[in-house]
Structure 1
Amino acid sequence: MIKHIVLWELADKDQADANAAKMKEQLEALVGQAPGLLSAQVGRGFVGCDVALIAELESREALEAYQNFEPHVVIKNWIGTIAKSRTVCDFEC
């Protein structure tokens, strides 16, 4: 199993709550759509980062497929327009 963790700092702090809610809705909706994506939890940070994603995937191959899954690419591209920074950590467990 792979854990995929992403932390974002959002650029517009006035829109952070609304953007975090939209990120949560869109990313969590990929469960059941993206092959190999077992779970996804998105939360609004109150210390450190603004938004965090913790996703579980079946394998490294599933992670690679998820990264290229068209609905996920669309979401990533939108997040890229609202995020100031992004940190990722992937590991096997």
Structure 2
Amino acid sequence: MIKHIVLWELADKDQADANAAKMKERLEALVGQTPGLLSAHVSRSFAGYDVALIAELESREALEAYQNFPPHVEIKKWVGSIAKNRTFCDFEC
């Protein structure tokens, strides 16, 4: 199993709550439609970065497929337009 963790700092702090809610809705909706994506949890942070994603995927191959899955690519483009900073960590467990 792969854990995929992404942290974002959002550019517009006045819209952070609304954008985080939209990120949660869109990213969590990928579960069940993205092959190999077992779970996705998005939360608004109270310290550090503004938003966190913790996703579980079946394998490294599933992570690669997820990164290129067209609905996810569309979300990544939108998030990239509202995010100031992003970091991530992927690991096997």
Q: TM-score, normalised by structure 1?
A: 1.00
Q: CA deviation at 1:49?
A: 0.7
Could you give the per-residue CA deviations for residues 29-65 of structure 1, whole angstroms, max 9, x where no partner exists? 0000000000000000000010000000000000000
Give the ranges of 4+ consecutive aligned residues of structure 1 lying more than 6 Å apart after TM superposition. none
Q: What corresponds to 1:46 in structure 2?
A: 46
Q: What corresponds to 2:2 in structure 1?
A: 2
Question: 2:22 aligned with 1:13, yes or no?
Answer: no
Q: CA deviation at 1:85?
A: 0.3
Q: What corresponds to 1:22 in structure 2?
A: 22
Q: How does 1:68-83 map to 2 (within 5 A)?
A: 68-83=68-83
The root-mean-square deviation of aligned C-alpha atoms, in Å, is: 0.2
Q: What corresponds to 2:87 in structure 1?
A: 87
Distance 1:46 1:88 in 2: 18
% identity of equivalent residues: 85
Distance 1:24 1:45 in 2: 12
Secondary structure of the residue that 1:62 maps to in structure 2? helix
Q: TM-score, normalised by structure 2?
A: 1.00
* Residue identity opposite 1:69 in structure 2: F
Q: CA deviation at 1:92?
A: 0.1
* Residue identity opposite 1:18 in structure 2: A
Q: What corresponds to 1:65 in structure 2?
A: 65
